[in-house]
Structure 1
C-alpha cells in the first residue's frame, strides 16, 4: 500500500445526518453508562471506580482522576489525530464522555452532556478543519506526514513483545521474518498494506511461544505434584471449594460479574452503537487504524485492531472483574467486526451479540487467564510494545510534519516543545506531547508569518 494515498482530511470532516445522529446518540449513551460507573474507556480510571461504587470516594474526586488521566490524550492525541486523518477516534469521543458522565450530578444530565459533546465533534470539527486548511501554514496537511511512520513502525510491535518476553534470539528471528514478509508483500501484493501479513505472523508466533511455555510449565507442575503425592495423605473432601469460598478476590470477581450481567441489555445497546459507528467508516479504533480507514483499507484496519485485542483482553477482563466496571468498547473486538460489516443492520446485530458474549464470559475468561500466566503476561508485553512503537512513530512523524510546515524552524519549535515537556516532568503525556507540539508549533508559525518574520514552506 502506498503511503501517499489521499487522506479523508484532505476533503474535510463532513458527516451525513445518520452519521451525526449516531455519534451524538452514542456519546449520550456512553456518558450515561459512565455516570452509572458501569463502564469507562480509560483503562487507568477503571480501578478507581470500585471505591466510587462502594461509596468510599466522592463523584467529584473520581471525576478529577478521570480528567487528569484523560485530558492529555483528548487534546494532545484525539483531536490532532482526527484533524490530520479526517477519521474520528475513541480518545476524542469516549474519554470526554467518561469525564462528563462522572461529572454529572444527576442521571438525566449525563446523556445531555454527552450528546452536547457529540454535537461539538460533528458540527465543530469540520469548521476547525476548514479554518486550519485556510491558514498560511497548513499544519493539518503537514500532520498527514505522520501516517507513514505510524503504519510501518507499528508493524514491529510483535517483535518487541517477543524480544522482551522470550529473549533476544527469538526477537531477532521474529524481526527477520517480519522484514522478509514486508518486503515480499510490497513486491507481490502492492495494493495490500505491507505490514498486514508480518503482524499476523508476529502475533501468532508470540501466542504460540506463550502457550508452549504454559503447557510445559503445567506438565512440570503435574509431575512435581505426582512425586509429592507419593506417601502423603489425600486432601480433605471439599478443601478446594472451601479455599475458593474463602478467597476474597474470588468473591469480589463474582460480585462484579453479577453486577455487569444485571445490565446486559444496556451493554448490548452499547455494543450495537460502537459497532455501527465502526461500520460507517468515519471512526478508527487506533492510531494506525485511523489512517488505514482514511485511505479506504478497511480489511487491513480490521486486521490491525484484531491484533490489538490480544493485548487488551486480560487487562480489561481483570480490571472489570476487580472494579465492576467494563470498557466502553469492551474487548475492542467490535471495532474490526464493524469495519467489515456490509450494512448497518448487521453491524447492530453483531455488536449487540459480541457484547452479550463478552459480558457473560467474563468470569470464565478470568479463570482461564489464571491458568495461563505466560499468555496473560504476553498481553502486557504487547501493550508495552504497542506503546513503544507508536511513541517512536508519532514522535518521528511529528518531526516530519514540523519539517513539512516550517523546515528547520519547524523542527526547532516542535522538537523544542517536546523536549520542554520532558524537562518539565511531562505535564502532557508522552504519547500526546508530539502531536500537541505540532498544533502549537503550527499556530506559532502562523503568528510569525503574520508578523512578517517567517515565510511558509511551499508545496
Structure 2
C-alpha cells in the first residue's frame, strides 16, 4: 500500500481553487439544511417533515441531527480524512447539516457552513503536520485500514445475495468473486482486484432479483387467468379498500414533497454542480473504500465502487425524500463516479447540474417504479445492510492493525479495550466510528506514555 502512504503524506495541501470549492460547497449545503430542503444524514431526513410543518422546533431538530451525526464526524470522518489525505462527506456535510439547522437566520447558515469549510481546508493540514511530528505517529498507522477496507468491501454483494436468496446462491457468488479476484491479481496487476469481482457480484444480485420479480408477475398473471370462467366471462372480483374517488394520503404527501423539491430545482442544480466539481478535483471520496482508491489515483476503480454503493441507497433516498420533502445533500451519489472520471472542472459543473436536475424531476417516477419491483427494492435494502456489515468488520480489523503498528500488544490492548468499553456502555460512539476513534485516543495515550518514559515507539 505504498502508493496510499505516498498520497496521504502530502499533508492535505489544497490549492486555492480546491479551498474555494470546499468552502463554497459547505456554505451551500448549510443553507439548504437551514431551509430543510436537503441534509446528508439519512436518519435526520424523516424528522424534517415535522419541522417543515411546524410540529417541532429548530432547536429540537438540531439536537436530533447532532445526536445522530457527532460520532460519525469525529470518529469516522476526521480519522478517515487524516489517514487517506482525501476529504469525505461525513467530515464535510454532517457538520453543515447541524450548522444549517442551528442557524436562526438564512444569512447566518451559509456563513457558518463556509466557516466550517475553512476549518477543514486550513485546520486539517495543521492537525496532519502535528500528528506526523509526534513520537507515535498514529496517522501513518491509520493507513493500515486501507487494505481491509478495500478487500472486505468486495464481499458486500455476496453477503447481500446470501441474505436475500439463500446460502446456495450466496456461496456460488462467493466462489465466482474469489476466482475473479485471483484472476485479476494474476492477469491485471495494476487494476484493483476487487473491482471486477464487485461488478459481477452486483450484476448477479440484480439478475436474481429481476428473475424473481418476473416469476412472481407471471404467477400473478396465471392466477388472474384462472379466474376467467369456462365460457370466457371473467368472474366478478370484489376489491377491498377505499372507494376509487378517495385520495390516497401517502400519494398526496409524495406528490406535495416532489413538487416542493421541483420548485427549488435551480438550487439543487448548483448543489449537484458543486459536488461533481469536488469529486473531479480528486480531493474528495464518497466512501470509506473510495477515499483510499482516490488517494492512490485509481479513479476508475473509485467510480465503480461508488456506483455500486449508490444502488443500495437510491431507494432509501428516494422514499425518504418523497416522504419528508427533503432531498439528500449528495443526491443518489451518482455525481461521485461521474466527477472522478471527467477530465476537467467545467464538464463536471455541467454534468453535476444536469444529473441533479434529472434526479429531482424523476423522483415521483422512481417512487412508483420501486413499488412495482419489490425484489429489486429488497435487494437495495440488503445491499445497504451488507455494506454496513462488511465495512464494520473491515474498519474494526484495520483499526486493530493500526493499533498494533503503533503500539504492538499494548496498542491493541488499549484500542480494543476502548472499543469494548464503548460496546458495554451502550455505544456512546456509533459502532462504525468507534474503532477509528479508539485508535486516535490510543495514539494520544501512547504519546503521553512516551513523554512519561513508559513507552518506546515501535520502529517501522
Asked if the contact 2:276–2:338 (Cα under 8 Å) also holds between the matched residues in 1, the reply is yes
Sort the Cα spacing of 1:229 and 1:31 in 2 relative to 1 into closer, same or farther, 3 A: farther
1:71 aligns with 2:74: no
Query: How big is the shift at 1:224?
Result: 1.1
How many equivalent residue pairs?
456
1:415 aligns with 2:416: yes
Q: Which residue of 2 aligns with 1:101?
A: 100
Asked if the contact 1:46–1:320 (Cα under 8 Å) also holds between the matched residues in 2, the reply is yes
Query: How big is the shift at 1:5?
Result: 4.1
Asked if the contact 1:3–1:147 (Cα under 8 Å) also holds between the matched residues in 2, the reply is no
* Aligned-residue RMSD, C-alpha: 1.5
Query: How big is the shift at 1:232?
Result: 2.3
Matches within 5 A, 1:138-287: 138-230=137-229, 231-233=234-236, 243=244, 246-287=247-288
Instruction: Specify every segment of 5 or more residues in structure 2 that has no aligned partner in the other structure, as ranges.
Output: none
Query: How big is the shift at 1:245?
Result: 5.1
Distance 2:346 2:391 in 1: 34
Asked if the contact 2:5–2:143 (Cα under 8 Å) also holds between the matched residues in 1, the reply is no
Query: How big is the shift at 1:380?
Result: 0.6
Q: Which residue of 1 aligns with 2:22?
A: 23
Matches within 5 A, 1:309-328: 309-328=310-329
Normalised to the residue count of structure 1, the TM-score between the two structures is 0.97
Sort the Cα spacing of 1:307 and 1:132 in 2 relative to 1 into closer, same or farther, 3 A: same
Distance 1:376 1:457 in 2: 49
Asked if the contact 1:7–1:86 (Cα under 8 Å) also holds between the matched residues in 2, the reply is no
Distance 1:226 1:57 in 2: 51
Query: How big is the shift at 1:233?
Result: 3.3
Matches within 5 A, 1:78-157: 78-157=77-156
Instruction: Specify every segment of 5 or more residues in structure 1 that has no aligned partner in the other structure, as ranges.
Output: none
Q: Which residue of 2 aligns with 1:348?
A: 349
Distance 2:325 2:112 in 1: 24
2:256 counterpart SS class = helix
Distance 1:170 1:440 in 2: 42
1:331 aligns with 2:332: yes
2:222 counterpart SS class = helix
Query: How big is the shift at 1:247?
Result: 1.0
Query: How big is the shift at 1:283?
Result: 0.2
2:226 counterpart SS class = helix
Query: How big is the shift at 1:435?
Result: 0.2
Distance 2:408 2:244 in 1: 66
Query: How big is the shift at 1:44?
Result: 0.4
Sort the Cα spacing of 1:389 and 1:122 in 2 relative to 1 into closer, same or farther, 3 A: same
Asked if the contact 1:7–1:291 (Cα under 8 Å) also holds between the matched residues in 2, the reply is no
Asked if the contact 1:245–1:251 (Cα under 8 Å) also holds between the matched residues in 2, the reply is no
1:11 counterpart SS class = coil
1:387 aligns with 2:388: yes
Asked if the contact 1:3–1:148 (Cα under 8 Å) also holds between the matched residues in 2, the reply is no
Distance 2:455 2:255 in 1: 63
Q: Which residue of 2 aligns with 1:295?
A: 296
